Chain A
Amino acid sequence: MLIAGAVWLLGNIFDNLADRGIASGFGFLRSTAGFGISTSLIEFSEASSIGRAFWVGLLNTLLVSAIGIVLSTILGFAIGIARFSSNWLLARLAVIYVETIRNIPLLLQIFFWYFAVLRSLPGPRQSHELGGLFFLNNRGFYTPSLSLDAGGVAILFSVILLAVLAILKRGQKRVVKLCAFLASGLFIFVAVGAEFSLPELKGFNFSGGMVLSPELVALVIALSTYTTAFIAEIVRAGILSVPRGQIEAASTLSLPYRDQMRFVVLPQALRVIVPLLTNQYLNLTKNSSLAAAIAFPDLVSVFAGTVLNITGQAIEIIGITMAVYLTISLSIAFAMNVFNRNTALRGTSP
């Protein structure tokens, strides 16, 4: 019966596709796009292929997610820890933040930031500015930029890599090491000849520097403030999961509060926090698909939106889009399992 049902469904699909004059298969990926994309990390024009449009969308999704993850982690930890502050006002403020943000739909928050805040900013000539370096107006957020040749990029990456290694490696003087790495990195950087470019008002618009579109800014702000509230709750739960006795022992050893947090509470809380945190990272990545609502060209918006409308190849396109998200989800889940195995407390199982 199942097979009969499947045959019937497949028959319907082919009939329907034939009726609409849609060819099945993935050939459409090689055809010319015929549309432009406003924000792109790689070169893209109307003459590029649809396959390339897919990569543009995917990279934009990853870009927004990466920025969102970094921001929401920092803010989330800060607010989660602030809930334990001895300052009553600060602790209350943290609660109010969490309870307000997480009870309002994300899409509404994206709309708010995009339509009510960023789009109603003044034009370029009346920009809000910060120190002559940063400008904010209804065309976007302008920052100084840094152009690098390939060698410079390579050096930048190796410096970051070394710095990360220095942090991860256990050692007493890691802060000193880190500073040394950063300083030498900066030195090499300047020596190689990185070029800074500042945004400047010319006529009716800015030139130079780097511009983040209002769509990108709204999406990033909304995604990271929203996820921050959830991460703050997770951090709080993690800290509460550390037995009271641990903090008592640390305080009878007269460890300062900072060190109690850093060496005793947080390392143990992290065991609870990290798995839940990756869940939030996944949520953030999936939520970045709401970009479609404000026409920021992320994967869903470009591929399941524009491309689908042009080609009409619904099954292939939705299939690919879902497969991409599934791959991201499953690989992070897999990495998480490995992490959990490696950080299990030693001695808990014989």
Chain B
Amino acid sequence: MSEPVIAVERVHKWFGTHQALDGVTLNVKSGERIVVCGPSGSGKSTLVRCINRLESTDSGRITVNQIDLAEGPLAVEQVRKTVGMVFQQFNLFPHLTVEENLCLAPVRSLGLSESVAKERAKEYLERVHIPEQAKKFPLQLSGGQQQRVAIARALCMEPAIMLFDEPTSALDPEMIKEVLGVIAELADGGMTMVCVTHEMGLARAMADRIVFLDEGRVIEEAPPSEFFTAPKSDRTKQFLSRILQH
């Protein structure tokens, strides 16, 4: 098929003396859904944060839609317009209403008119099943609702790619389901996605490919059927046995 939309080539990243990424290579094709998993501190969050340059890399190359992120601020701007991101801590703007959270970027950075942006906000709030919360403030919502607003906020930029950085880790167990449901619906819609998660159920249901990271290296890369039934590396087995126990 065509060129990958995300190409990560031999990327190294250090935080002081700690090596977060150690020669990671990863290609994502258009429409592909990747789940990145691994023990904590394995560098999986750093990897997705590098893809839209929230973190810089020390060596190696990352291109998104053939744009090299190292080219400078303009390239980063261009990439960020097509890449949406959802954070573990939601990072909604607490001083703005839900609707204002959704409209801010479309108006300010895409240059949409206020009314078009509002229309769009309404549409995506419906997609995440909370159209009635538009006038509320983020802190008045439950965690699950907040995360769905965050997803809608990213979608309002109509990105071609979505990055998820542990979207359910900060949620109470009973809220996880509603957020996973929304993510699964998105996956069904054909969005290109890279998702860091511990939710193996989600991985099994929607991933085209699972990437297992440990100590900054890609240990294993396989479709879910293979990954769960016939893991090749010992470390993967160990990880799976620990995480599937409960």
A and B touch in the complex (CB under 8 A): yes
Residue in A252, A256, A347 whose CB lies within 8 Å of B141 = A347
Nearest chain B residue, comparing its CB with the CB of A264: B93
Contact B84 A347 (CB under 8 A): no
Contact B93 A246 (CB under 8 A): yes
Scan residues 77-129 of chain B and give those whose CB is less than 8 A from a CB of chain A. Answer: 77, 80-81, 83-85, 87, 89, 91-96, 104-105, 108-109, 114
Contact A254 B85 (CB under 8 A): no
Please name all residues of chain A whose beta carbon is closer than 8 Å to the beta carbon of B157 when the two chains form the complex.
253-254
Contact A345 B109 (CB under 8 A): no
For the complex, is B140 an interface residue (Cβ under 8 Å from A)? Answer: yes
For the complex, is B224 an interface residue (Cβ under 8 Å from A)? Answer: no
Residue in B83, B108, B114, B137 whose CB lies within 8 Å of A347 = B137
Please name all residues of chain A whose beta carbon is closer than 8 Å to the beta carbon of B94 when the two chains form the complex.
268, 345, 347
Please name all residues of chain A whose beta carbon is closer than 8 Å to the beta carbon of B92 when the two chains form the complex.
249
Contact B153 A253 (CB under 8 A): yes
For the complex, is B147 an interface residue (Cβ under 8 Å from A)? Answer: no
Please name all residues of chain B whose beta carbon is closer than 8 Å to the beta carbon of A246 when the two chains form the complex.
91, 93
For the complex, is A255 an interface residue (Cβ under 8 Å from B)? Answer: yes
For the complex, is B243 an interface residue (Cβ under 8 Å from A)? Answer: no
A246 to B80, CA, bound (A): 16
A79 to B37, CA, bound (A): 44
Contact B87 A345 (CB under 8 A): no
0 or 1 for each of A231-273: is its CB under 8 Å from B? (1 = yes): 0000000000001011011111111100100011001100100
For the complex, is A348 an interface residue (Cβ under 8 Å from B)? Answer: yes
Contact A263 B91 (CB under 8 A): no
* Known interface pairs A253-B104, A255-B104; A248-B87 also in contact (CB < 8 Å): yes
A254 to B77, CA, bound (A): 6
Please name all residues of chain B whose beta carbon is closer than 8 Å to the beta carbon of A259 when the two chains form the complex.
104, 108-109
Please name all residues of chain B whose beta carbon is closer than 8 Å to the beta carbon of A256 when the two chains form the complex.
108-109
Nearest chain A residue, comparing its CB with the CB of B80: A254
Contact A252 B84 (CB under 8 A): yes
For the complex, is B57 an interface residue (Cβ under 8 Å from A)? Answer: no
Contact A248 B91 (CB under 8 A): yes
* Known interface pairs A248-B87, A251-B80, A253-B104; A346-B139 also in contact (CB < 8 Å): yes
Please name all residues of chain A whose beta carbon is closer than 8 Å to the beta carbon of B154 when the two chains form the complex.
252-253
Contact B140 A252 (CB under 8 A): no
A245 to B150, CA, bound (A): 12
For the complex, is A172 an interface residue (Cβ under 8 Å from B)? Answer: yes
A348 to B95, CA, bound (A): 11
* Known interface pairs A245-B91, A345-B94; A255-B139 also in contact (CB < 8 Å): no
* Known interface pairs A245-B87, A252-B54, A253-B153; A263-B108 also in contact (CB < 8 Å): yes
Contact B95 A268 (CB under 8 A): yes
0 or 1 for each of B179-198: is its CB under 8 Å from A? (1 = yes): 00000000000000000000
A252 to B77, CA, bound (A): 9
Contact A252 B85 (CB under 8 A): yes
A276 to B77, CA, bound (A): 35
Nearest chain B residue, comparing its CB with the CB of A245: B91
What is the minimal beta-carbon distance from A299 to any residue of chain B, in angstroms? Answer: 39
Contact A249 B109 (CB under 8 A): no
A268 to B80, CA, bound (A): 23
Please name all residues of chain A whose beta carbon is closer than 8 Å to the beta carbon of B93 when the two chains form the complex.
246, 249-250, 263-264, 268
Contact A348 B139 (CB under 8 A): yes
Scan residues 126-163 of chain B and give those whose CB is less than 8 A from a CB of chain A. Answer: 136-141, 150, 153-154, 157
Contact B105 A253 (CB under 8 A): yes
A345 to B139, CA, bound (A): 8
Residue in B54, B83, B95, B150 whose CB lies within 8 Å of A345 = B95
A255 to B137, CA, bound (A): 21
For the complex, is B52 an interface residue (Cβ under 8 Å from A)? Answer: yes
A172 to B115, CA, bound (A): 11
Residue in A252, A263, A348 whose CB lies within 8 Å of B52 = A252
Residue in B77, B81, B84, B140 whose CB lies within 8 Å of A346 = B140
What is the minimal beta-carbon distance from B223 to any residue of chain A, in angstroms? Answer: 29
Scan residues 294-309 of chain A and give those whose CB is less than 8 A from a CB of chain B. Answer: none
* Known interface pairs A253-B104, A255-B104; A345-B137 also in contact (CB < 8 Å): yes
Contact B54 A251 (CB under 8 A): yes
Nearest chain A residue, comparing its CB with the CB of B83: A252
What is the minimal beta-carbon distance from A287 to any residue of chain B, in angstroms? Answer: 32
What is the minimal beta-carbon distance from B98 to any residue of chain A, in angstroms? Answer: 11
Nearest chain B residue, comparing its CB with the CB of A253: B105
Contact B91 A254 (CB under 8 A): no
Contact B141 A255 (CB under 8 A): no
Please name all residues of chain A whose beta carbon is closer than 8 Å to the beta carbon of B104 when the two chains form the complex.
253, 255, 259, 263-264
Nearest chain A residue, comparing its CB with the CB of B107: A172
* Known interface pairs A172-B114, A347-B139; A254-B109 also in contact (CB < 8 Å): yes
In the A-B complex, the 4 residue pairs with the smallest Cβ-Cβ separation, listed nearest first, are A347-B139, A347-B140, A249-B91, A253-B105
Query: Known contacts A251-B80, A254-B80; can you find 13 more A-B pairs with CB under 8 A?
Result: A249-B150, A251-B54, A252-B54, A252-B80, A256-B108, A256-B109, A259-B108, A259-B109, A271-B95, A345-B95, A347-B136, A347-B138, A347-B140
25 sample A-B contacts, Cβ–Cβ < 8 Å, listed by A number: A172-B114, A243-B91, A245-B87, A246-B93, A250-B93, A251-B80, A252-B84, A252-B154, A253-B104, A253-B109, A253-B157, A254-B105, A255-B105, A255-B108, A259-B104, A263-B93, A263-B108, A264-B93, A264-B104, A268-B94, A347-B136, A347-B139, A347-B140, A347-B141, A348-B139
